[in-house]
């Protein structure tokens, strides 16, 4: 594996410009002070109740995502490139979805193979030919970005269903500003706090035409036991909208209402954090108690906007991912600004053969997996694990893709033995309304806290950092 790109230090001893002030500050600040602030931050997180649940552990388990107090810093110039690339990517995702559920030109042009769409469980035939308000499918996208050198941004994963983590972006900043006012005074950090306002504006802008002048927005959560519940309540609060569960909503005459103390009240836009499968027991899983019976028929009647739309999974599917550069070119006629990780599609015999020969050097992922579950990291795996995986792969090659093990960039991070480089990724949040696409400067930086680890997922020992975009 190549040497990882260090975001702070240039080989040879110099510092990258964005980190110079931080390095000075670190030199002046004793390590006990850092440790003390770290503990203070943890206490704040607990008191505010910023916790998440880990599935499989007992219900009462609430865990903190470890927070690293050293910020991750990017220059304004770097951000400008990234921002442009993100907007381009999300625009293409939306056009792709619109096309897949309508004309399917991209299939006729044979850019993407048919069976990858039609045999894909996340493809929703219910959405065929259905008009979604303002043609927006992915209102909120979380695009996972990694770096391997100073030039390129690489997309690791598109999250076009119900991406989470934005509350950490906002709370991390809040807590950093409380704990390190002097450090902020020495930098000009672009603010992130307008995210909720922009989200609300985007959601309102896509209200169905039958909505009143002041559309009513609600946030649909699976409930307190969901791992991201804190984020749901946090966002509802910041947006000033009701946080509803399925049982609070009812569909009558193809309109959606919430049960209030004053009777039924119409809802126009649902920012839903419930997966497609569970959203309407009459259409999808009949055993779902999290959804709203009849929601899909109100959706079809054009009386409710769901954000994100139903069926967006077909755009962030790992099998589709490898076609993204072609998808961008097809719809926009532009070269993609953000790169893709080179990807072997195990469904193709030639690729499969290569993957089977090189398992110990590759990362193999389940096409439909998420959260870092069910994947093989070749270089870190034992022989036995690799062999077991090989069998799985042979049995169902179409269920997997493989990628080279990337040397994710590193940032300085607090560890038990002082500051040390740890691998990071970045999830910026892209908002698409009826008229515009916006991104607050920054995102959620996740950091693999274990030395050498490349897995940044919070369910597997990852932590988070505040992400600073310098306003130059």
Query: Cβ distance 65 to 105 under 8 Å?
Result: no
Choose one: 21-29, 180-188, 222-230, 384-392; the region binding another protein (CB under 8 A): 222-230
- Taking the complex as a whole, how short is the minimal distance between the CB of residue 259 and another protein, in angstroms? 5
From residue 333, alpha-carbon distances to 12, 102, 143, 329, 465 in Å are 41, 20, 21, 5, 36
Tokens of 310: 């139903």
Choose one: 140-148, 257-265, 352-360, 462-470; the region binding another protein (CB under 8 A): 257-265
Query: Cβ distance 219 to 244 under 8 Å?
Result: yes
243 is a contact residue toward another protein (CB under 8 A): yes
Degrees, nearest 5: CA angle 95-214-301 = 50
**Strand, coil or helix: 67:** strand
252 is a contact residue toward another protein (CB under 8 A): no
Residue with smaller CB distance to another protein, 249 or 470: 249
- Taking the complex as a whole, how short is the minimal distance between the CB of residue 265 and another protein, in angstroms? 9
Q: How far apart are CA 424 and CA 445, in angstroms?
A: 7
Q: How far apart are CA 388 and CA 120, in angstroms?
A: 25
Tokens of 414: 């607090």
Residue with smaller CB distance to another protein, 233 or 457: 233
Residue with smaller CB distance to another protein, 271 or 321: 271
Choose one: 4-12, 118-126, 260-268, 302-310; the region binding another protein (CB under 8 A): 260-268
247 is a contact residue toward another protein (CB under 8 A): yes
Tokens of 139: 């209102």
244 is a contact residue toward another protein (CB under 8 A): yes
Residues contacting residue 58 through CB under 8 Å, at least 6 positions apart? none
Please select the residue that binds another protein; options are 29, 233, 254, 405, rule is CB under 8 A.
233
Please select the residue that binds another protein; options are 259, 286, 360, 396, rule is CB under 8 A.
259
242 is a contact residue toward another protein (CB under 8 A): yes
Please select the residue that binds another protein; options are 17, 49, 191, 286, rule is CB under 8 A.
49
Closest listed residue to residue 95, CA positions, set 424, 327, 401, 394: 327
Choose one: 42-50, 98-106, 109-117, 433-441; the region binding another protein (CB under 8 A): 42-50
Q: How far apart are CA 309 and CA 363, in angstroms?
A: 30
Residue with smaller CB distance to another protein, 113 or 293: 293
Using CB under 8 A, list all residues that contact another protein: 46-47, 49, 223-224, 229, 233-234, 236-237, 242-245, 247-248, 258-262
């Amino acid at each position: 594996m190549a040497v990882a790109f260090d975001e702070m230090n240039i080989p040879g001893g110099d510092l990258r410009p964005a980190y110079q002030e931080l390095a000075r500050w670190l030199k002046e600040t004793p390590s006990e002070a850092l440790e003390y602030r770290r503990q203070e931050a943890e206490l704040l997180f607990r008191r505010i109740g910023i916790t998440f649940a880990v599935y499989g552990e007992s219900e009462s388990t609430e865990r903190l995502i470890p927070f690293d107090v050293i910020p991750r810093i990017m220059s304004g110039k770097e951000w400008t490139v990234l921002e442009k690339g993100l907007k381009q990517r999300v625009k293409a995702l939306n056009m792709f979805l619109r096309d897949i559920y309508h004309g399917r030109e991209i299939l006729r042009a044979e850019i993407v193979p048919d069976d990858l769409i039609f045999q894909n469980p996340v493809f929703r035939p219910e959405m065929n030919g259905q008009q979604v308000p303002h043609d927006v499918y992915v209102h909120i996208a979380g695009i996972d970005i990694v770096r391997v050198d100073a030039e390129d941004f690489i997309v690791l994963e598109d999250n076009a269903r119900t991406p989470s983590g934005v509350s950490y972006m906002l709370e991390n900043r809040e807590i950093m500003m409380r704990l390190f006012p002097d450090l902020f005074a020495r930098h000009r950090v672009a603010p992130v706090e307008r995210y909720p306002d922009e989200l609300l504006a985007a959601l309102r802008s896509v209200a169905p035409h039958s909505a009143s002048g002041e559309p009513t927005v609600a946030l649909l959560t699976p409930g307190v036991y969901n791992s991201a519940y804190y984020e749901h309540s946090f966002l509802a609060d910041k947006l000033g909208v009701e946080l509803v569960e399925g049982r609070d909503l009812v569909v009558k005459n193809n309109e959606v209402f919430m049960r209030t103390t004053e009777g039924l009240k119409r809802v126009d836009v649902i920012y839903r954090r419930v997966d497609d499968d569970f959203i309407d027991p009459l259409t999808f899983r009949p055993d779902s108690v999290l959804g709203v019976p009849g929601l899909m028929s109100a959706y079809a009647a054009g009386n409710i906007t769901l954000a994100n739309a139903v069926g967006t999974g077909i755009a962030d599917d790992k099998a589709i991912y490898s076609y993204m550069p072609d998808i961008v070119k097809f719809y926009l006629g532009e070269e993609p600004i953000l790169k893709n990780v080179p990807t072997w599609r195990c469904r193709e015999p030639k690729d499969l053969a290569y993957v089977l020969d090189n398992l110990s050097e590759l990362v193999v992922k389940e096409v439909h997996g998420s959260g870092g579950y069910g994947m093989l990291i070749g270089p870190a795996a034992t022989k036995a694990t690799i062999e077991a995986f090989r069998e799985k792969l042979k049995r169902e090659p179409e269920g997997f893709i493989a990628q080279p093990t990337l040397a994710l960039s590193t940032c300085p991070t607090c560890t038990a033995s002082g500051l040390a480089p740890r691998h990071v990724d970045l999830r910026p949040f892209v908002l698409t309304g009826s008229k515009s696409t916006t991104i607050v400067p920054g995102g959620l930086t996740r950091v693999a806290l274990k030395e050498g680890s490349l897995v940044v997922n919070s369910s597997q020992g990852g932590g988070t950092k505040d992400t600073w975009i310098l306003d130059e």
